[in-house]
Chains A and B, each alone.
Chain A
Amino acid sequence: MKLGPVIHQQIVQLKWHVLACLGLVMAMPLEEAVMNAWQGEGFYAGRLSLFIPIIAAPLLAGLIACANVQADLDDKRYLFWRSRPAGVKTFMSIKFLIGMVTALIIIACPFVFAFVTCQIVQTEKNEREFFVVIAVFQLISLLTYSVCFFCNVLIRKTARAWLVGMAAACLMMVLPFILPFHFKDIVGDVLVVTSAVYLSITIGSSALAFALSLVAADRNWHLHTNLKGLLWAGAAIVFLLAMLFSRQVANIKVLDEIKLESGWGWDAPFYRIDDRLYFHGRQEIQTSDGRIKVFEAADWFKTERSWTVNDHNRPDHSEQKLELRTYPALHAIYRRINGQLYAFALHIYSKRGMIEYKHAYLRSFKVLNDELFPVSTLDVSECLASEEDSFNRFAIRLIDDKIIAFVGNQCLSAAVNESGEIELLDREPLTRYHILQKDRNRIIQIPLIKTDTIDFQERIRFALDYTYKPSWIVGDSIVDIHNNTIRYYLVSDQDVARYEVLRWDDDYIYCRFQSARPFTFLEQLDRGRSLRLERYFIRNGKLYAHGMQKLMVFDVRSERIRKLGHWERLTDNFGITDMEVLEDGNLVMAVSTGWHQHTDGVHYATFTMYVLKNPE
């Protein structure tokens, strides 16, 4: 077989397709260049004009492939050239290569034109991303060309082969990102960063499609199709893919939602008081059967900030211009004892605007007829570190009827009696340490708090929570204690890591990294930003982690960490402010959605409250 005439025949066969495609991809760059020249800026095409060529390139590559095959594989011509002394595989290889080179040249034309004209006029700098985008779209075009080529050899109807080929190429490109293959190396923007996996998928699929084309042509495979069946099958596959996608990133069901307004700004946490849940310190949340209701909170709750700041127990503090800090921040820990509701808090006074602590008190209050009455005050100022020693730690947690608190450089333990009074039990010095260990293979040593008033498990829990998440110490825990096994979990922007407590002695807890569940590509998708899961906690064997726009729920008690649910909202004016697990197992989530200006000119923050079904 003479190669020269065959190549010539192939090129002549494609000339009209080449001209049409070239006209399509070059229309916008040429138009922009002419307009720029008309306005006196020079004859060049900027990046704006490359938008349509970029999008159209893979589609046109597929079209050229189909046209290339169809020209010689319709029934009559196929019989003709099979009667000639030509090797099928050689003929198809020449056909494939000529079409591929033609397609890639056509696709490169607008980019080369833009690059050259920009270089000549020296107007827009072409950065690295520009060339990466060109390379990526050449690769995608190679894939669509090869797959469409194979589909047309098989189906032998241009339009159907093109549709099937494009769908198959799309499937190959998105499947690795949709299925939970845990490709840790697929991070970042897929259009800018070419990863090894992506590259191998593109080139591997193209090579496979080419090989299959040769076999199909050689053995005269012919797939009979009808339009109706193809469309139904295509739609079913796309729908299945969407279902797979939704299993990964959005499978938590919304049971109910309501809109709220608040004049108190964005910071809108939930407060759990006894068995009631309050939002923003102003509204009480009630849920039943998945429905949500909001009521105005009691007056004492709304004015709580004023009683803590006014500090009626020690009026002289205001004269000394001292500043009050409360732990937990702004509010208190609430507990019902014998039917009566009490509030407990650690109050620290420091010089205004300075880190110089003067007084510290553990206080309890009785909630009666929507008012707060002081019950007891325990002066623990002597625990504060001296001015020379800056080691001051503050934290408080109520465990059964004991208060465990870090005040200055001491760990206090106090008992709460039946009338809500606080009584100091013991105090021990805190161990100074910091953990900056990045090597997961090493044993981690964490100081254990020294008190005998609570059991070992709670001591370990407190120590671990304070070590890793001191600001969440009041209500949240990262520790899961189950079947005498103590594990804790850390969430980074890469994975959820599980650590196991191996042993402990009087001074330290010894822990070891056990396993990790890396986030998939889709889980890390956050409009180009990092994952930033701002809060996470363990409750009843489940890890709840949320950032501004996503919430994920993991089962941490199974052999490997399994994701149970995912909520995601890809929009800028959407920020999860807080979430809580309800008594009935469902989740309640508060989301800030923007501002709203009333007719009186006052701006109100708008929120949406969701009740979500806790995934199992």
Chain B
Amino acid sequence: MFRQLLWKEWRENLWKLVFCGTVRVAFAALLFRIRLFPDAANGVIISFVQMLVVPVVYALDIFSGEMSNRTIHLLFKFPVPRWKIFFSKYLVCVLGMSLVFAATGLSMAIFGHEREAPTGLLVNNTLLFGVVAVILFTWFCAFAVQSRSEAGSLVAVFGVMIGWGIIFFWSLVCEVPWANHFTPYSIFFWAFREVPEWFRLSSLITSHIIALTAAIAVACYRFVKVRRVL
């Protein structure tokens, strides 16, 4: 049954994969063609914009769509635990986002082949941004899994992005290393040759595993507890 749920979500969200993939590859081709900025900078620009846009596209109706169309009731009638329904949605979104970032990285590697920036650098940076996007989406799930409208989902996803941005700036300016290790954006420092003193890879990974596990647990719990009166 879980496979069927995955298949349903995959079919429903395939257009997002096609949309994000097409748009990103088109913009990568354009920017790498016009070369207004160095290839490495182009890679960062594309990946950064993608990091902000792809989670929004996936988040807009992944949970609220079922609620507003009232198909969530039909879904809950399936002989399958609710947490499996949540995970089918979550995993398909994560897989879709990963594929989008992989496609972008690959296209940038092709467009920038034998040019000024090392191919590995372009792919690595894109994948790092992809990881950040997935983390942001996970945090969104914790807040908006019960959202009933696109507006609610939109506010939640921007809230997560801006909120973590505020925490990121605050922890950098006020030099609070433990908070830095929890912010999704601190993963960018991994791409730097010389990382800041506070940066510890092991702490970063551990902090994020703990935080994301908690976020997924909260999201799953809240999804299971969705009331029938919707």
Interface size in chain B (residues, C-beta < 8 A): 32
Are B30 and A160 in touch, CB under 8 angstroms? no
Q: Which residue of B lies closest to A239 (CB)?
A: B26
Q: Which residue of A lies closest to B15 (CB)?
A: A228
A207 to chain B, nearest CB (A): 27
Are A250 and B23 in touch, CB under 8 angstroms? no
Out of B19, B41, B165, name the residue touching A231 (CB < 8 Å).
B19
Q: Give the residues in chain B near A242, CB-CB below 8 Å.
A: 27, 30
Q: Which residue of B lies closest to A52 (CB)?
A: B166
A to B contact number (C-beta, < 8 Å)? 81
B54 to chain A, nearest CB (A): 11
Docked pose: A197 CA to B216 CA in angstroms = 50
Out of B15, B30, B37, B41, name the residue touching A243 (CB < 8 Å).
B30
B129 to chain A, nearest CB (A): 19
> Is A459 an interface position by the 8 A CB rule?
no
Q: Which residue of B lies closest to A251 (CB)?
A: B34
List the one stretch of B3-11, B145-153, B198-206 in contact with chain A: B145-153
> Is B2 an interface position by the 8 A CB rule?
no
Q: Which residue of B lies closest to A608 (CB)?
A: B116
> Is B36 an interface position by the 8 A CB rule?
yes
Out of B26, B116, B150, B158, name the residue touching A160 (CB < 8 Å).
B150
> With A159-B154, A242-B30, A246-B30 in contact, do A28 and B57 touch (Cβ < 8 Å)?
no
> Is A158 an interface position by the 8 A CB rule?
yes
Q: Which residue of B lies closest to A32 (CB)?
A: B173
Are A569 and B35 in touch, CB under 8 angstroms? yes
**CB proximity to B under 8 Å, residues A41-78:** 48, 51-52, 56, 59, 63, 66, 70
Out of B26, B36, B150, B166, name the residue touching A159 (CB < 8 Å).
B150
Docked pose: A574 CA to B151 CA in angstroms = 45
Out of A24, A31, A66, A570, name the residue touching B37 (CB < 8 Å).
A570
Are B57 and A231 in touch, CB under 8 angstroms? yes
Docked pose: A250 CA to B33 CA in angstroms = 8
> With A231-B57, A569-B36, A571-B41 in contact, do A24 and B116 touch (Cβ < 8 Å)?
no
> Is B74 an interface position by the 8 A CB rule?
no
> With A235-B23, A239-B27 in contact, do A250 and B34 touch (Cβ < 8 Å)?
yes
Out of B115, B151, B158, B169, name the residue touching A66 (CB < 8 Å).
B151
Are A35 and B174 in touch, CB under 8 angstroms? yes
> Is A162 an interface position by the 8 A CB rule?
yes
Docked pose: A52 CA to B34 CA in angstroms = 31
Docked pose: A35 CA to B162 CA in angstroms = 20
**CB proximity to B under 8 Å, residues A160-189:** 160, 162-163
Are B23 and A239 in touch, CB under 8 angstroms? yes
Docked pose: A461 CA to B155 CA in angstroms = 67
Q: Give the residues in chain B near A227, CB-CB below 8 Å.
A: 60-61, 150
> Is A257 an interface position by the 8 A CB rule?
yes
Question: A195-234, CB under 8 A of B: which get 1 and which 0?
Answer: 0000000000000000000000000000000011001100
Q: Which residue of B lies closest to A38 (CB)?
A: B174
> Is A254 an interface position by the 8 A CB rule?
yes
Docked pose: A157 CA to B41 CA in angstroms = 37
Docked pose: A31 CA to B158 CA in angstroms = 20
Are B151 and A159 in touch, CB under 8 angstroms? yes
Are B36 and A235 in touch, CB under 8 angstroms? no
A116 to chain B, nearest CB (A): 22
Q: Give the residues in chain A near B153, CB-CB below 8 Å.
A: 159
Are A28 and B30 in touch, CB under 8 angstroms? no
Docked pose: A56 CA to B166 CA in angstroms = 12
Are A56 and B38 in touch, CB under 8 angstroms? no
Are A570 and B166 in touch, CB under 8 angstroms? no
Are B169 and A52 in touch, CB under 8 angstroms? yes
20 new A-B pairs (CB below 8 Å) besides A48-B173, A158-B154, A250-B34? Answer: A52-B162, A56-B162, A63-B155, A157-B150, A157-B151, A159-B153, A227-B60, A227-B150, A228-B15, A228-B19, A231-B19, A231-B57, A235-B23, A239-B23, A239-B30, A249-B36, A250-B35, A568-B36, A569-B38, A571-B41
Nearest 6 A/B pairs, CB to CB: A250-B34, A158-B151, A159-B150, A159-B151, A159-B154, A246-B34
What are 15 A-B pairs at a CB distance below 8 A? A48-B173, A52-B169, A159-B60, A159-B151, A159-B153, A227-B60, A228-B19, A239-B27, A242-B30, A249-B34, A250-B34, A253-B33, A567-B35, A569-B37, A593-B116
| A interface residue numbers (CB < 8 A to B) | 24, 27-28, 31-32, 35, 48, 51-52, 56, 59, 63, 66, 70, 157-160, 162-163, 227-228, 231-232, 235, 239, 242-243, 246, 249-251, 253-254, 257, 259, 567-571, 574, 593, 608
